[in-house]
Structure 1
């Protein structure tokens, strides 16, 4: 598990899970094994590597990052701490609460890191850390950390800064300058073709800011590109409730939030001013990415003005689908606060029209609440967990998503809903996992073929399996027979009790 939601398509499916089954995931045989303590909130998804040599021993290792700027490596089998490292600079501390309820009381490492096992002697974990020095200056730095030792790699860390031509919110005299005090990396880091892609939002998407996409070399940690999505406007957060940008290896796909959208289009159908707020965007997966296509809703200006941003949810790519007439379609799905699900053709995303959404499919009335997270995919079914809504299964037939759920969970998930994850042994023993927010949080497990069949939840055995209050925007991570859930002060680990 080297990245957010397991793969670049962001399907959330772990298809090599041979331990957890429909028969043994129940409160009699499955529960909380241990708790991995941490020094701050765990907003990034834990990551996992197998068979890593540390010293003279071989370990399966789970990596945890915190808002206190720490990275932990734990032995996943024993729970023993292997090493811990602070990514704050000398004399610096995590940045203080900015008044944003989503990131409190401090901001350090917010985005899920990404791991490349081929880099360096032991593999590298890439993470962005935010900190404040004694003079009150805010810093964001990109780190590459040796998986076995915690040492910095490739001459890092790299201080993050950027400029770009434009007259947008962060601009002066025709030049935008990235303001580190305004920004947070919330979207999970994405690694494609040797490039690290990171998306920037503002704290609670407030203030005079622009959304930025930046690209860094995984080999050198040097910046290769900085691209604001609203260069002559404002806002355009790339946050997606912590979800990662998706990729098919050739292109990068993400959805940005409220911001200026330029309705005056050029001959190619792109905004003449370059402003692409509140849009589903396709970029070339290169060191200097360029926008190659996009989709914006016909009412995009009104949606943005109403804080009904599309970019509250993440993008997911579907495997190749075949229509009833035999045409192969390359599709992506996304949903935000307006309760609709949008299915776009990645080869022709639809761009913008003030009168219609020229996309492959729009599903209205399927979700009872908006999306603050991502869907999952397994065995030709898309799973969505809306806010104050049940988790719902939407089969895909002839390249079209079902317009009514084939099954739904008995649980309605309070704000922010749920970002599900899947464990399965190939096409068998499919289990949908979802974390429930609340004063007493819960981990739920459902039969993937019928969400009405709840296999387990962590409140069934009383206090035995409980792990405290919920943490927003968390997706369970499944690896090697265990399920990991980030919390406000560590990671709860679940598995077979014997």
Structure 2
């Protein structure tokens, strides 16, 4: 099964349901472990992607696509580790960007966001990548690339410079227009391909002003811009961070968490912020007639949260499949959480908007997790899995479209910053395994029984140094494909699987 986007699908469920080789019986230290390590030229902050049976260089290969903060894109033979092709998204005479004095992505910034692949576009299939670079004159560039999956060649007359402007008097504005200044931004949130359009969301280098919040849209066929939206056009900040998680979708609208920034507590007749500033919100964006915020939820204390840097936008969003409540009504839900140690569950058809006197939201959980969310939730078998920082990895059953307020099971281990972004492998409803990559001086891959997180099946520190792979990487999620588990690190990708094939 191909893995073409962050957490496997546009809902960001993180479930890989076609895994037939890895089972709860064979994922253990006796039969499972590190098989190899594919070295690259920089930190791997984006989730690797996988395609099966790709015709490359006269042969057919399972291909692992890896991008780095040194602005490189690698196509590896996923089974042998041979480099099939490699390109740089920096143009001739350019280098990856410096870190702008911010320690969040350092020492260089090249490709941070997880790309997205469409096997149906171009002559062989296309991978869409955003690369940041700096030219010899000191100017910064953000470009959208479409790369042929078999050669790495640029498609559709790319790359395209990402530019934009928006009416407003906000941070960095000039004469009533807010410019998109490439050097002030980084594309951290994973790319979304939706109905023939590539969507990107933009954050800053730490909280270095001037910056505002942006969503950009480009045609997947031509790379030409099709829309631009500023989320704080008359304010400041409001970047889209989400710890690298993806802009999520239900197939029609786009959902994400916006970072700390200006919100207008005075609303208009449509219950929208009076100046169009949506900082620190749970947002629903639709592309027609133009790219705009169609609905939103803001906590009643959203202004205080932003002022205290307790922003909602530190975690990712999960769009749940349709659920039926106790009265037989179909519910369309999404869940996310940030630094306030709360989980917010919104009704995607009516998200709750803003009321300073209290929240009008489908469900919110204030005592379920005890650490901030710097990761995305996952969904499998009527259960949502969350891995807050400083807390346990937890399983939250969803029954009759209502979240349990206490975990049905949890890991024995608690997780240091930034917590974990769990992913699931299973063969349909059988052999569900929850995988988590641990950050730290010695990183680790963990595997748990999805039906009982107290049962740890495996971790890569169980066998001394045999399966260890060096330092962990802050926001990385494991990726599972074809019986193997791939974990991005600061210097490459660690490959795990069953010994002896």
Q: Shorter chain as normaliser: what TM range?
A: over 0.9
Asked if the contact 1:313/1:373 (under 8 Å) is kept, the reply is yes
Partner of 1:383: 385
Structure 2 residue matching 1:171: 3-state secondary structure = coil
Alignment of 1:388-399 (within 5 A): 388-399=390-401
Partner of 2:173: 171
Looking at structure 2, the residues matched to 202 and 286 of structure 1 have their Cα atoms a distance apart, in angstroms, of 27
Relative distance call for 1:494 and 1:422 in structure 2 (3 A) is same
Counterpart of 1:122 (choices 115, 121, 124) is 124
Partner of 1:279: 281
Partner of 2:346: 344
Partner of 1:74: 76
Partner of 2:55: 53
1:217-239 deviation digits (Å, cap 9, x = unpaired)? 00000111111100000000111
Asked if the contact 1:224/1:287 (under 8 Å) is kept, the reply is no
Looking at structure 2, the residues matched to 47 and 427 of structure 1 have their Cα atoms a distance apart, in angstroms, of 23
Gaps of 5+ in 1: none
Looking at structure 2, the residues matched to 286 and 50 of structure 1 have their Cα atoms a distance apart, in angstroms, of 35
Alignment of 1:39-438 (within 5 A): 39-285=41-287, 288-438=290-440
Looking at structure 2, the residues matched to 4 and 134 of structure 1 have their Cα atoms a distance apart, in angstroms, of 33
How far 1:325 moved relative to its partner? 1.3
Partner of 1:466: 468
Looking at structure 1, the residues matched to 499 and 207 of structure 2 have their Cα atoms a distance apart, in angstroms, of 43
Looking at structure 1, the residues matched to 223 and 110 of structure 2 have their Cα atoms a distance apart, in angstroms, of 19
Looking at structure 1, the residues matched to 25 and 70 of structure 2 have their Cα atoms a distance apart, in angstroms, of 39
Structure 1 residue matching 2:206: 3-state secondary structure = helix
1:186-221 deviation digits (Å, cap 9, x = unpaired)? 000000000000000001232221111100000000
Partner of 2:499: 497
How far 1:56 moved relative to its partner? 2.1
Counterpart of 1:36 (choices 31, 35, 38) is 38
Asked if the contact 1:9/1:318 (under 8 Å) is kept, the reply is yes
Asked if the contact 1:193/1:286 (under 8 Å) is kept, the reply is no
Asked if the contact 1:424/1:431 (under 8 Å) is kept, the reply is yes
Structure 2 residue matching 1:20: 3-state secondary structure = coil
Counterpart of 2:480 (choices 478, 481, 498) is 478
Relative distance call for 1:495 and 1:285 in structure 2 (3 A) is farther
Looking at structure 1, the residues matched to 212 and 76 of structure 2 have their Cα atoms a distance apart, in angstroms, of 37
TM-score, normalised by the number of residues in structure 1: 0.99
1:429-479 deviation digits (Å, cap 9, x = unpaired)? 000000111100100000000000000000001111001001111111001
TM-score, normalised by the number of residues in structure 2: 0.98
Asked if the contact 2:171/2:209 (under 8 Å) is kept, the reply is no
Asked if the contact 1:140/1:159 (under 8 Å) is kept, the reply is yes
Looking at structure 2, the residues matched to 338 and 52 of structure 1 have their Cα atoms a distance apart, in angstroms, of 44
Asked if the contact 1:216/1:287 (under 8 Å) is kept, the reply is no
Asked if the contact 2:426/2:432 (under 8 Å) is kept, the reply is yes
Structure 2 residue matching 1:326: 3-state secondary structure = coil
Partner of 1:450: 452
How far 1:307 moved relative to its partner? 0.3
Asked if the contact 1:68/1:106 (under 8 Å) is kept, the reply is yes
Between 1:79-88 and 1:205-214, the stretch displaced more is 205-214
